[in-house]
Chains A and B, each alone.
Chain A
Amino acid sequence: MSLRLAYYPGCTLKTNARNYEASAIASSKALGIELVELPRWNCCGTVHALAKDDVMHYIAPVRNLIRVEQLKNSGLVDDGRLVTLCEMCYNTLKRADVTVKEDQERRRKLREVMEEEPPYSGGGVEVIHLLQLIREVGWERVKKRLVRPLRGLRVAPYYGCLLLRPRGIGIDDANNPTIFERLIESLGAEVVEIPFKAKCCGSYQTVHMGHVASELSYRILRQAVEGGADVITLACPLCEYNLGERQGEIRGLFPDLKYIPVLYFTQLMALAFGLEDSVGLEMNNPDPRPLLRRKGFP
Protein backbone atom coordinates (compact mmCIF):
# COMPACT_ATOMS: atom_id res chain seq x y z
CA MET A 1 0.00 0.00 0.00
CA SER A 2 1.55 3.24 -1.07
CA LEU A 3 1.56 6.48 0.90
CA ARG A 4 -0.98 8.92 -0.51
CA LEU A 5 -0.11 12.58 -0.05
CA ALA A 6 -1.61 15.83 -1.25
CA TYR A 7 0.42 17.37 -4.04
CA TYR A 8 0.46 21.04 -5.03
CA PRO A 9 1.60 21.48 -8.64
CA GLY A 10 1.66 25.24 -9.17
CA CYS A 11 1.17 26.89 -12.53
CA THR A 12 4.60 26.23 -14.07
CA LEU A 13 4.38 22.51 -13.48
CA LYS A 14 1.34 22.49 -15.77
CA THR A 15 3.04 24.50 -18.52
CA ASN A 16 6.79 24.99 -18.95
CA ALA A 17 7.79 22.37 -16.39
CA ARG A 18 5.56 19.47 -17.38
CA ASN A 19 8.71 17.34 -17.51
CA TYR A 20 9.29 18.13 -13.82
CA GLU A 21 5.78 17.09 -12.89
CA ALA A 22 5.69 13.91 -14.99
CA SER A 23 9.06 12.71 -13.71
CA ALA A 24 8.18 13.60 -10.11
CA ILE A 25 4.90 11.70 -10.17
CA ALA A 26 6.45 8.65 -11.82
CA SER A 27 9.54 8.46 -9.62
CA SER A 28 7.53 9.09 -6.45
CA LYS A 29 5.28 6.22 -7.43
CA ALA A 30 8.36 4.04 -7.85
CA LEU A 31 9.26 4.90 -4.25
CA GLY A 32 5.79 4.02 -2.99
CA ILE A 33 4.40 7.55 -2.84
CA GLU A 34 1.19 8.47 -4.61
CA LEU A 35 0.97 12.21 -5.25
CA VAL A 36 -2.71 13.21 -5.17
CA GLU A 37 -3.22 16.52 -6.95
CA LEU A 38 -4.88 19.03 -4.66
CA PRO A 39 -8.45 19.66 -5.89
CA ARG A 40 -9.29 23.27 -6.78
CA TRP A 41 -5.78 24.56 -6.12
CA ASN A 42 -5.14 28.18 -6.98
CA CYS A 43 -2.03 30.30 -7.38
CA CYS A 44 0.38 29.82 -4.48
CA GLY A 45 0.74 33.58 -4.12
CA THR A 46 4.10 33.47 -5.98
CA VAL A 47 6.09 35.70 -3.65
CA HIS A 48 5.92 35.85 0.13
CA ALA A 49 4.69 39.27 1.22
CA LEU A 50 7.06 40.94 3.64
CA ALA A 51 4.94 43.94 4.62
CA LYS A 52 3.63 43.50 8.15
CA ASP A 53 0.18 44.80 7.29
CA ASP A 54 -0.27 42.78 4.11
CA VAL A 55 -3.22 40.42 4.33
CA MET A 56 -4.36 40.17 0.73
CA HIS A 57 -1.32 38.27 -0.48
CA TYR A 58 -1.92 35.57 2.10
CA ILE A 59 -5.38 34.72 0.82
CA ALA A 60 -4.14 32.62 -2.09
CA PRO A 61 -1.69 30.44 -0.16
CA VAL A 62 -4.03 30.03 2.82
CA ARG A 63 -6.88 28.97 0.53
CA ASN A 64 -4.65 26.20 -0.77
CA LEU A 65 -3.89 25.09 2.78
CA ILE A 66 -7.62 24.96 3.47
CA ARG A 67 -8.04 22.72 0.41
CA VAL A 68 -5.43 20.38 1.91
CA GLU A 69 -7.38 20.12 5.17
CA GLN A 70 -10.53 19.40 3.16
CA LEU A 71 -8.72 16.70 1.18
CA LYS A 72 -7.35 15.21 4.40
CA ASN A 73 -10.84 15.16 5.92
CA SER A 74 -12.16 13.38 2.85
CA GLY A 75 -9.78 10.52 3.58
CA LEU A 76 -8.25 10.53 0.11
CA VAL A 77 -4.78 11.21 1.52
CA ASP A 78 -3.03 9.64 4.48
CA ASP A 79 -2.05 12.75 6.42
CA GLY A 80 -1.91 16.56 6.39
CA ARG A 81 1.30 16.95 4.43
CA LEU A 82 1.37 18.93 1.21
CA VAL A 83 4.11 17.99 -1.22
CA THR A 84 5.48 20.77 -3.41
CA LEU A 85 7.93 20.74 -6.30
CA CYS A 86 8.44 24.37 -7.32
CA GLU A 87 10.70 26.15 -4.83
CA MET A 88 8.71 29.32 -5.03
CA CYS A 89 5.47 27.50 -4.22
CA TYR A 90 7.20 25.70 -1.35
CA ASN A 91 8.52 28.95 0.09
CA THR A 92 5.31 30.94 -0.27
CA LEU A 93 2.99 28.24 1.05
CA LYS A 94 5.29 27.33 3.93
CA ARG A 95 5.77 30.91 5.05
CA ALA A 96 2.06 31.65 4.78
CA ASP A 97 1.39 28.71 7.10
CA VAL A 98 3.93 30.01 9.63
CA THR A 99 2.50 33.53 9.44
CA VAL A 100 -1.08 32.38 9.99
CA LYS A 101 0.00 30.32 12.96
CA GLU A 102 2.08 33.03 14.59
CA ASP A 103 0.27 36.25 13.69
CA GLN A 104 -3.05 36.37 15.47
CA GLU A 105 -4.08 39.67 13.90
CA ARG A 106 -3.57 38.53 10.34
CA ARG A 107 -5.22 35.21 11.12
CA ARG A 108 -8.33 37.07 12.33
CA LYS A 109 -8.45 39.30 9.25
CA LEU A 110 -7.99 36.37 6.92
CA ARG A 111 -10.90 34.57 8.55
CA GLU A 112 -13.09 37.58 8.01
CA VAL A 113 -12.30 38.01 4.33
CA MET A 114 -12.40 34.24 3.72
CA GLU A 115 -15.64 33.66 5.59
CA GLU A 116 -16.91 31.30 2.89
CA GLU A 117 -14.14 28.83 3.78
CA PRO A 118 -13.62 26.78 6.92
CA PRO A 119 -11.24 28.65 9.26
CA TYR A 120 -7.55 27.83 9.08
CA SER A 121 -5.36 28.33 12.13
CA GLY A 122 -1.96 27.45 10.73
CA GLY A 123 0.02 24.31 11.47
CA GLY A 124 -2.74 21.92 10.41
CA VAL A 125 -0.99 21.34 7.13
CA GLU A 126 2.69 20.55 6.83
CA VAL A 127 4.11 22.00 3.63
CA ILE A 128 7.07 19.94 2.49
CA HIS A 129 9.27 19.67 -0.57
CA LEU A 130 9.58 16.36 -2.43
CA LEU A 131 13.30 16.27 -1.62
CA GLN A 132 12.47 16.15 2.09
CA LEU A 133 10.04 13.34 1.51
CA ILE A 134 12.63 11.32 -0.39
CA ARG A 135 15.14 11.88 2.42
CA GLU A 136 12.54 10.61 4.86
CA VAL A 137 11.72 7.58 2.74
CA GLY A 138 15.42 6.90 2.78
CA TRP A 139 18.38 6.80 0.43
CA GLU A 140 18.42 3.03 0.79
CA ARG A 141 15.01 2.76 -0.82
CA VAL A 142 16.23 5.00 -3.65
CA LYS A 143 19.22 2.72 -4.18
CA LYS A 144 17.03 -0.39 -4.15
CA ARG A 145 14.86 1.06 -6.87
CA LEU A 146 17.73 1.72 -9.30
CA VAL A 147 17.34 0.09 -12.68
CA ARG A 148 20.06 2.05 -14.41
CA PRO A 149 22.47 3.67 -11.92
CA LEU A 150 23.83 6.94 -13.29
CA ARG A 151 27.43 5.74 -13.21
CA GLY A 152 29.89 8.05 -14.89
CA LEU A 153 27.53 11.04 -14.87
CA ARG A 154 28.98 14.09 -13.17
CA VAL A 155 26.19 16.16 -11.64
CA ALA A 156 26.42 19.63 -10.10
CA PRO A 157 23.56 20.25 -7.67
CA TYR A 158 22.11 23.73 -7.57
CA TYR A 159 19.78 24.54 -4.67
CA GLY A 160 18.76 28.08 -5.45
CA CYS A 161 17.67 30.16 -2.51
CA LEU A 162 14.05 29.39 -1.72
CA LEU A 163 14.46 25.87 -0.33
CA LEU A 164 17.00 27.01 2.24
CA ARG A 165 15.97 30.47 3.33
CA PRO A 166 14.80 31.87 5.63
CA ARG A 167 16.40 29.46 8.04
CA GLY A 168 13.17 28.69 9.90
CA ILE A 169 11.62 27.02 6.89
CA GLY A 170 14.75 25.75 5.11
CA ILE A 171 14.78 22.07 4.27
CA ASP A 172 18.51 21.82 4.94
CA ASP A 173 21.47 23.77 6.29
CA ALA A 174 21.35 27.17 4.58
CA ASN A 175 25.11 27.44 4.13
CA ASN A 176 26.09 23.87 3.52
CA PRO A 177 23.12 21.84 2.32
CA THR A 178 23.72 18.19 1.43
CA ILE A 179 20.32 16.73 0.58
CA PHE A 180 20.91 16.98 -3.18
CA GLU A 181 24.37 15.47 -2.85
CA ARG A 182 22.94 12.46 -0.98
CA LEU A 183 20.35 11.96 -3.68
CA ILE A 184 22.88 12.22 -6.52
CA GLU A 185 25.12 9.68 -4.78
CA SER A 186 22.17 7.38 -4.18
CA LEU A 187 21.41 7.47 -7.89
CA GLY A 188 24.95 6.28 -8.59
CA ALA A 189 26.14 9.55 -10.10
CA GLU A 190 29.12 11.65 -9.11
CA VAL A 191 28.67 14.96 -7.28
CA VAL A 192 30.42 18.08 -8.56
CA GLU A 193 30.37 20.70 -5.81
CA ILE A 194 30.08 24.31 -6.89
CA PRO A 195 30.64 27.18 -4.43
CA PHE A 196 27.58 29.03 -5.69
CA LYS A 197 25.19 26.11 -5.25
CA ALA A 198 22.90 28.18 -3.01
CA LYS A 199 23.44 31.62 -4.56
CA CYS A 200 20.68 33.45 -6.38
CA CYS A 201 20.09 32.75 -10.09
CA GLY A 202 18.43 36.13 -10.61
CA SER A 203 14.98 34.77 -9.82
CA TYR A 204 12.10 36.86 -11.19
CA GLN A 205 14.42 39.70 -12.16
CA THR A 206 14.48 37.68 -15.34
CA VAL A 207 11.16 39.28 -16.30
CA HIS A 208 12.21 42.94 -16.29
CA MET A 209 16.01 42.87 -16.01
CA GLY A 210 17.13 39.90 -18.03
CA HIS A 211 20.78 40.92 -17.93
CA VAL A 212 20.80 40.68 -14.12
CA ALA A 213 19.58 37.09 -14.29
CA SER A 214 22.03 36.35 -17.09
CA GLU A 215 25.01 37.66 -15.14
CA LEU A 216 24.09 35.84 -11.93
CA SER A 217 23.31 32.61 -13.75
CA TYR A 218 26.53 32.81 -15.74
CA ARG A 219 28.61 32.62 -12.55
CA ILE A 220 26.80 29.47 -11.48
CA LEU A 221 27.02 27.85 -14.91
CA ARG A 222 30.72 28.65 -15.28
CA GLN A 223 31.51 27.03 -11.94
CA ALA A 224 29.69 23.89 -12.98
CA VAL A 225 31.46 23.73 -16.35
CA GLU A 226 34.88 24.43 -14.84
CA GLY A 227 34.24 21.83 -12.18
CA GLY A 228 33.81 19.27 -14.92
CA ALA A 229 30.07 18.67 -14.48
CA ASP A 230 28.14 16.99 -17.30
CA VAL A 231 24.83 18.36 -16.10
CA ILE A 232 23.36 20.63 -13.45
CA THR A 233 20.42 19.43 -11.41
CA LEU A 234 17.92 21.59 -9.58
CA ALA A 235 14.42 21.73 -8.12
CA CYS A 236 12.96 25.02 -9.29
CA PRO A 237 11.31 25.92 -12.62
CA LEU A 238 12.45 29.53 -12.37
CA CYS A 239 16.06 28.49 -11.72
CA GLU A 240 15.69 26.08 -14.64
CA TYR A 241 14.58 28.95 -16.83
CA ASN A 242 17.46 31.18 -15.81
CA LEU A 243 20.17 28.51 -15.94
CA GLY A 244 18.74 26.54 -18.86
CA GLU A 245 16.54 28.50 -21.23
CA ARG A 246 18.69 31.57 -20.81
CA GLN A 247 21.94 29.89 -21.86
CA GLY A 248 21.65 31.11 -25.43
CA GLU A 249 21.41 34.68 -24.25
CA ILE A 250 24.09 34.19 -21.61
CA ARG A 251 26.45 32.92 -24.27
CA GLY A 252 25.75 36.07 -26.21
CA LEU A 253 27.09 38.05 -23.25
CA PHE A 254 29.80 35.55 -22.25
CA PRO A 255 30.89 33.66 -25.37
CA ASP A 256 33.43 31.61 -23.41
CA LEU A 257 30.66 29.64 -21.69
CA LYS A 258 30.07 26.07 -22.85
CA TYR A 259 26.53 24.76 -23.00
CA ILE A 260 25.63 22.55 -20.07
CA PRO A 261 22.31 20.72 -19.77
CA VAL A 262 20.09 21.46 -16.77
CA LEU A 263 17.81 18.71 -15.43
CA TYR A 264 15.27 18.53 -12.66
CA PHE A 265 16.35 16.09 -9.94
CA THR A 266 13.21 14.10 -10.64
CA GLN A 267 14.35 13.60 -14.23
CA LEU A 268 17.59 12.05 -12.97
CA MET A 269 15.51 9.81 -10.70
CA ALA A 270 13.17 8.77 -13.50
CA LEU A 271 16.20 8.06 -15.69
CA ALA A 272 17.86 5.96 -12.99
CA PHE A 273 14.61 4.16 -12.18
CA GLY A 274 14.15 3.18 -15.84
CA LEU A 275 11.03 5.34 -16.30
CA GLU A 276 11.96 6.64 -19.76
CA ASP A 277 8.40 7.57 -20.68
CA SER A 278 8.25 10.09 -17.85
CA VAL A 279 11.65 11.77 -18.11
CA GLY A 280 10.54 14.37 -20.66
CA LEU A 281 14.04 15.34 -21.81
CA GLU A 282 12.67 16.79 -25.05
CA MET A 283 11.46 19.81 -23.06
CA ASN A 284 14.88 20.66 -21.66
CA ASN A 285 16.96 23.38 -23.23
CA PRO A 286 19.89 22.90 -23.86
CA ASP A 287 19.00 19.42 -25.07
CA PRO A 288 20.61 16.90 -22.71
CA ARG A 289 19.95 13.89 -24.95
CA PRO A 290 23.17 13.92 -27.05
CA LEU A 291 25.29 14.04 -23.91
CA LEU A 292 23.26 11.37 -22.14
CA ARG A 293 23.48 9.11 -25.18
CA ARG A 294 27.24 9.58 -25.25
CA LYS A 295 27.30 8.54 -21.61
CA GLY A 296 25.33 5.44 -22.43
CA PHE A 297 21.88 6.47 -21.22
CA PRO A 298 19.01 6.03 -23.66
Chain B
Amino acid sequence: MNGDEMVTVYIMGKRHRVPANLTIMKAMEYAGYQLRRGAGCRGGFCGACSTIYRMRGSFRLQVALACQKMVEDGMIITQLPFIPSEKKRYNLEKLRPDPGVFLEYFPEIARCLSCNTCTKACPQDLMVMDYVQAALRGDIKTAAELSFDCLSCGLCAVRCPAEIVPYHIGQLARRLYSRYIVGPSHQVQNRVMEIEKGIYDEEIRRLKSLDINMLREIYSRRG
Protein backbone atom coordinates (compact mmCIF):
# COMPACT_ATOMS: atom_id res chain seq x y z
CA MET B 1 0.00 0.00 0.00
CA ASN B 2 1.21 3.42 -0.96
CA GLY B 3 1.62 5.62 2.13
CA ASP B 4 -0.06 8.53 0.39
CA GLU B 5 -3.28 6.73 -0.38
CA MET B 6 -6.29 8.30 1.36
CA VAL B 7 -9.71 6.80 2.09
CA THR B 8 -13.01 8.26 3.18
CA VAL B 9 -14.47 7.15 6.49
CA TYR B 10 -17.46 8.41 8.48
CA ILE B 11 -16.72 8.72 12.18
CA MET B 12 -19.99 9.05 14.06
CA GLY B 13 -21.54 10.30 10.86
CA LYS B 14 -18.92 12.90 10.01
CA ARG B 15 -16.93 12.46 6.82
CA HIS B 16 -13.13 12.37 7.08
CA ARG B 17 -10.31 11.74 4.64
CA VAL B 18 -7.67 9.66 6.38
CA PRO B 19 -4.55 7.76 5.24
CA ALA B 20 -5.38 4.20 4.22
CA ASN B 21 -2.51 2.70 6.19
CA LEU B 22 -3.97 3.61 9.59
CA THR B 23 -5.90 1.51 12.05
CA ILE B 24 -9.36 2.76 12.99
CA MET B 25 -7.92 4.04 16.25
CA LYS B 26 -5.10 5.98 14.59
CA ALA B 27 -7.51 7.28 11.94
CA MET B 28 -9.72 8.70 14.67
CA GLU B 29 -6.74 10.44 16.22
CA TYR B 30 -5.67 11.68 12.77
CA ALA B 31 -9.18 13.12 12.37
CA GLY B 32 -8.75 15.03 15.60
CA TYR B 33 -10.31 12.83 18.25
CA GLN B 34 -8.57 12.56 21.58
CA LEU B 35 -9.34 9.12 22.99
CA ARG B 36 -9.90 9.18 26.72
CA ARG B 37 -12.03 6.04 26.77
CA GLY B 38 -12.14 3.25 24.24
CA ALA B 39 -8.38 2.98 24.00
CA GLY B 40 -6.07 0.85 26.08
CA CYS B 41 -3.13 -1.34 25.21
CA ARG B 42 -3.21 -0.57 21.46
CA GLY B 43 -1.95 -4.08 20.92
CA GLY B 44 -5.15 -6.10 20.59
CA PHE B 45 -5.05 -7.55 24.08
CA CYS B 46 -7.08 -5.38 26.43
CA GLY B 47 -10.47 -5.25 24.72
CA ALA B 48 -11.05 -1.55 25.46
CA CYS B 49 -11.55 -0.35 21.87
CA SER B 50 -14.73 -2.17 20.81
CA THR B 51 -15.88 -0.70 17.54
CA ILE B 52 -18.85 -1.24 15.28
CA TYR B 53 -19.05 -0.19 11.67
CA ARG B 54 -20.90 -0.64 8.45
CA MET B 55 -19.58 -0.37 4.93
CA ARG B 56 -21.49 1.97 2.68
CA GLY B 57 -23.96 -0.02 0.63
CA SER B 58 -24.06 -2.99 3.00
CA PHE B 59 -26.67 -3.75 5.63
CA ARG B 60 -24.23 -5.77 7.70
CA LEU B 61 -23.15 -4.52 11.07
CA GLN B 62 -19.52 -5.43 11.56
CA VAL B 63 -17.27 -5.42 14.60
CA ALA B 64 -13.61 -4.78 15.25
CA LEU B 65 -11.04 -3.74 17.77
CA ALA B 66 -10.14 -0.20 16.70
CA CYS B 67 -6.43 -0.77 17.37
CA GLN B 68 -6.33 -3.86 15.13
CA LYS B 69 -8.55 -3.10 12.18
CA MET B 70 -7.25 -1.03 9.26
CA VAL B 71 -9.59 1.60 7.86
CA GLU B 72 -11.30 0.87 4.56
CA ASP B 73 -12.91 3.24 2.14
CA GLY B 74 -16.56 3.79 3.01
CA MET B 75 -16.47 2.69 6.66
CA ILE B 76 -19.15 4.19 8.90
CA ILE B 77 -17.66 3.90 12.36
CA THR B 78 -18.48 4.37 15.99
CA GLN B 79 -16.74 3.18 19.09
CA LEU B 80 -18.35 1.71 22.17
CA PRO B 81 -16.12 3.08 24.90
CA PHE B 82 -18.03 1.31 27.64
CA ILE B 83 -20.42 -1.66 27.77
CA PRO B 84 -22.90 -1.53 30.63
CA SER B 85 -23.08 -4.85 32.47
CA GLU B 86 -23.54 -5.82 36.06
CA LYS B 87 -20.46 -7.20 37.71
CA LYS B 88 -21.66 -10.10 39.79
CA ARG B 89 -19.81 -10.51 43.05
CA TYR B 90 -18.94 -14.01 44.15
CA ASN B 91 -16.29 -15.62 46.27
CA LEU B 92 -14.56 -18.24 44.15
CA GLU B 93 -13.49 -20.11 47.28
CA LYS B 94 -17.12 -20.57 48.25
CA LEU B 95 -18.37 -21.65 44.82
CA ARG B 96 -18.49 -25.25 43.70
CA PRO B 97 -17.79 -26.35 40.13
CA ASP B 98 -21.37 -27.58 39.79
CA PRO B 99 -23.52 -27.17 36.68
CA GLY B 100 -25.99 -25.02 38.60
CA VAL B 101 -23.46 -22.30 39.41
CA PHE B 102 -23.89 -20.49 36.07
CA LEU B 103 -27.67 -20.39 36.37
CA GLU B 104 -27.41 -19.21 39.94
CA TYR B 105 -25.41 -16.11 39.06
CA PHE B 106 -26.55 -15.65 35.47
CA PRO B 107 -30.08 -17.07 35.21
CA GLU B 108 -30.54 -15.24 31.91
CA ILE B 109 -28.33 -17.81 30.12
CA ALA B 110 -31.40 -20.05 30.02
CA ARG B 111 -32.82 -17.51 27.55
CA CYS B 112 -30.15 -18.39 24.96
CA LEU B 113 -31.78 -19.24 21.63
CA SER B 114 -28.55 -20.49 20.05
CA CYS B 115 -28.96 -17.76 17.45
CA ASN B 116 -25.16 -17.39 17.21
CA THR B 117 -25.29 -13.57 17.00
CA CYS B 118 -22.66 -13.39 19.75
CA THR B 119 -20.29 -15.58 17.75
CA LYS B 120 -20.70 -13.35 14.72
CA ALA B 121 -19.99 -10.29 16.91
CA CYS B 122 -16.69 -11.57 18.31
CA PRO B 123 -13.61 -9.72 17.00
CA GLN B 124 -11.52 -12.60 18.36
CA ASP B 125 -13.46 -15.13 16.24
CA LEU B 126 -14.39 -17.16 19.31
CA MET B 127 -17.30 -19.60 19.28
CA VAL B 128 -19.16 -17.55 21.86
CA MET B 129 -22.54 -19.24 21.55
CA ASP B 130 -20.87 -22.63 21.91
CA TYR B 131 -19.26 -21.63 25.21
CA VAL B 132 -22.49 -20.14 26.57
CA GLN B 133 -24.21 -23.39 25.66
CA ALA B 134 -21.44 -25.41 27.27
CA ALA B 135 -21.90 -23.38 30.47
CA LEU B 136 -25.65 -23.92 30.33
CA ARG B 137 -25.14 -27.66 30.49
CA GLY B 138 -22.43 -27.40 33.13
CA ASP B 139 -19.50 -28.27 30.86
CA ILE B 140 -17.01 -26.00 32.62
CA LYS B 141 -13.98 -27.34 30.78
CA THR B 142 -15.38 -26.66 27.31
CA ALA B 143 -16.68 -23.23 28.35
CA ALA B 144 -13.26 -22.33 29.74
CA GLU B 145 -11.33 -23.58 26.73
CA LEU B 146 -13.58 -21.98 24.12
CA SER B 147 -13.54 -18.63 25.90
CA PHE B 148 -9.82 -18.65 26.67
CA ASP B 149 -8.91 -15.86 24.23
CA CYS B 150 -11.78 -13.57 25.30
CA LEU B 151 -10.76 -9.94 25.89
CA SER B 152 -14.06 -8.96 27.53
CA CYS B 153 -14.55 -6.30 24.85
CA GLY B 154 -18.30 -6.70 25.35
CA LEU B 155 -19.47 -6.71 21.73
CA CYS B 156 -21.20 -10.08 22.22
CA ALA B 157 -23.14 -8.69 25.16
CA VAL B 158 -24.57 -5.74 23.27
CA ARG B 159 -25.64 -7.92 20.34
CA CYS B 160 -27.28 -10.73 22.34
CA PRO B 161 -31.07 -10.70 21.91
CA ALA B 162 -31.40 -12.63 25.17
CA GLU B 163 -29.39 -9.91 26.95
CA ILE B 164 -26.80 -12.38 28.18
CA VAL B 165 -23.32 -11.13 29.03
CA PRO B 166 -21.27 -13.97 27.55
CA TYR B 167 -17.86 -12.72 28.63
CA HIS B 168 -18.87 -12.91 32.28
CA ILE B 169 -19.97 -16.50 31.73
CA GLY B 170 -16.64 -17.37 30.14
CA GLN B 171 -14.74 -15.65 32.92
CA LEU B 172 -16.60 -17.61 35.60
CA ALA B 173 -15.96 -20.82 33.66
CA ARG B 174 -12.22 -20.11 33.46
CA ARG B 175 -12.05 -19.24 37.14
CA LEU B 176 -13.87 -22.43 38.15
CA TYR B 177 -11.78 -24.46 35.72
CA SER B 178 -8.46 -23.20 37.05
CA ARG B 179 -9.49 -23.27 40.71
CA TYR B 180 -11.29 -26.62 40.86
CA ILE B 181 -10.54 -28.67 37.77
CA VAL B 182 -6.93 -28.21 36.64
CA GLY B 183 -5.79 -27.04 40.06
CA PRO B 184 -2.90 -24.72 40.87
CA SER B 185 0.05 -24.33 38.51
CA HIS B 186 3.25 -25.49 40.14
CA GLN B 187 5.34 -23.01 38.17
CA VAL B 188 3.31 -20.12 39.57
CA GLN B 189 3.41 -21.55 43.06
CA ASN B 190 7.18 -21.98 42.88
CA ARG B 191 7.69 -18.46 41.59
CA VAL B 192 5.47 -16.97 44.32
CA MET B 193 7.48 -18.92 46.88
CA GLU B 194 10.74 -17.56 45.44
CA ILE B 195 9.41 -14.01 45.55
CA GLU B 196 8.22 -14.42 49.11
CA LYS B 197 11.63 -15.79 50.11
CA GLY B 198 13.18 -12.57 48.77
CA ILE B 199 15.30 -14.24 46.08
CA TYR B 200 14.70 -11.34 43.67
CA ASP B 201 14.80 -8.46 46.15
CA GLU B 202 18.44 -7.64 45.57
CA GLU B 203 18.09 -7.54 41.79
CA ILE B 204 14.97 -5.36 41.96
CA ARG B 205 16.82 -2.96 44.29
CA ARG B 206 19.73 -2.78 41.86
CA LEU B 207 17.46 -2.15 38.83
CA LYS B 208 15.58 0.58 40.68
CA SER B 209 18.81 2.40 41.40
CA LEU B 210 19.90 2.56 37.71
CA ASP B 211 19.38 5.56 35.46
CA ILE B 212 17.23 5.32 32.38
CA ASN B 213 20.10 4.91 29.91
CA MET B 214 21.51 1.94 31.81
CA LEU B 215 18.05 0.41 31.98
CA ARG B 216 17.67 0.84 28.22
CA GLU B 217 20.99 -0.87 27.63
CA ILE B 218 20.13 -3.77 29.92
CA TYR B 219 16.75 -4.10 28.25
CA SER B 220 18.24 -4.21 24.77
CA ARG B 221 20.81 -6.83 25.85
CA ARG B 222 18.18 -9.06 27.55
CA GLY B 223 18.16 -12.73 26.64
> Bound state CA distance, A14 and B119, in angstroms?
24
Set B99, B100, B133, B161: member contacting A42, Cβ < 8 A:
B133
> Bound state CA distance, A45 and B133, in angstroms?
12
Which residues of chain A have C-beta atoms less than 8 A from B127's C-beta?
40
CB distance from A78 to the nearest CB of B (A): 26
Which residues of chain B have C-beta atoms less than 8 A from A41's C-beta?
133
Tell whether, in the assembled complex, residue B137 and residue A56 are in contact, meaning their CB atoms are under 8 Å apart.
Answer: no
Q: How large is the interface on A (under 10, 10 to 19, 20 to 34, 35 or more residues)?
A: 10 to 19
- B130 contacts partner chain A, Cβ-Cβ < 8 Å: yes
Which residues of chain A have C-beta atoms less than 8 A from B133's C-beta?
41-43
Secondary structure at the B interface, as helix, strand, loop or mixed, is: loop
In the complex where A40-B130, A42-B130 touch, is A63 in contact with B137 (Cβ < 8 A)? no
Tell whether, in the assembled complex, residue B113 and residue A57 are in contact, meaning their CB atoms are under 8 Å apart.
Answer: yes
Tell whether, in the assembled complex, residue A43 and residue B136 are in contact, meaning their CB atoms are under 8 Å apart.
Answer: yes
- B112 contacts partner chain A, Cβ-Cβ < 8 Å: yes
Which residues 1-30 of A have a CB within 8 angstroms of B?
A: 9, 11, 14-15
- B124 contacts partner chain A, Cβ-Cβ < 8 Å: no
CB distance from A16 to the nearest CB of B (A): 8
Which residues 72-128 of B have a CB within 8 angstroms of A?
A: 99-100, 112-116, 119-120, 127
Q: How large is the interface on B (under 10, 10 to 19, 20 to 34, 35 or more residues)?
A: 10 to 19
> Bound state CA distance, A113 and B119, in angstroms?
13
In the complex where A14-B99, A42-B129 touch, is A56 in contact with B139 (Cβ < 8 A)? no
Set B99, B114, B116: member contacting A43, Cβ < 8 A:
B114
CB distance from A184 to the nearest CB of B (A): 30
> Bound state CA distance, A95 and B171, in angstroms?
35
CB distance from B122 to the nearest CB of A (A): 12
> Bound state CA distance, A108 and B198, in angstroms?
67
Which residues 173-193 of B have a CB within 8 angstroms of A?
A: none
CB distance from B162 to the nearest CB of A (A): 10
> Bound state CA distance, A60 and B129, in angstroms?
11
Q: Which residue of A lies closest to B146 (CB)?
A: A40
Q: Which residue of B lies closest to A14 (CB)?
A: B137
- A253 contacts partner chain B, Cβ-Cβ < 8 Å: no
Tell whether, in the assembled complex, residue B120 and residue A14 are in contact, meaning their CB atoms are under 8 Å apart.
Answer: no
- A212 contacts partner chain B, Cβ-Cβ < 8 Å: no
Which residues of chain A have C-beta atoms less than 8 A from B129's C-beta?
42
Tell whether, in the assembled complex, residue A60 and residue B138 are in contact, meaning their CB atoms are under 8 Å apart.
Answer: no
CB distance from A206 to the nearest CB of B (A): 15
In the complex where A14-B99, A15-B99, A42-B129 touch, is A59 in contact with B137 (Cβ < 8 A)? no
> Bound state CA distance, A134 and B186, in angstroms?
49
Q: Select the residue from B100, B114, B120, B161 with max chain A CB neighbours within 10 A.
A: B114
Which residues of chain A have C-beta atoms less than 8 A from B130's C-beta?
40, 42
Q: Which residue of A lies closest to B109 (CB)?
A: A43
Which residues of chain B have C-beta atoms less than 8 A from A57's C-beta?
113
Set B115, B119, B137: member contacting A15, Cβ < 8 A:
B137
Which residues 31-77 of B have a CB within 8 angstroms of A?
A: none
Q: Select the residue from B116, B127, B136, B139 with max chain A CB neighbours within 10 A.
A: B116
Which residues of chain A have C-beta atoms less than 8 A from B116's C-beta?
59, 63, 114, 116
Tell whether, in the assembled complex, residue B114 and residue A60 are in contact, meaning their CB atoms are under 8 Å apart.
Answer: yes
CB distance from B145 to the nearest CB of A (A): 13
Q: Mark B132-164, 1 if CB is under 8 A from A, else 0.
A: 010011110000000000000000000001000
CB distance from A197 to the nearest CB of B (A): 30
Some 15 contacts from A to B, beta carbons below 8 A apart, are A14-B139, A15-B137, A15-B138, A40-B127, A42-B133, A43-B112, A43-B114, A56-B113, A56-B161, A57-B113, A60-B114, A63-B114, A63-B116, A113-B115, A114-B116
Q: 4 extra interchain contacts, Cβ-Cβ under 8 A, other than A15-B100, A40-B130, A116-B120?
A: A9-B137, A11-B137, A43-B136, A60-B114
For the complex of A and B, 10 pairs with smallest distance between CB atoms: A60-B114, A11-B137, A42-B114, A42-B133, A15-B99, A14-B137, A15-B138, A59-B115, A56-B113, A63-B114
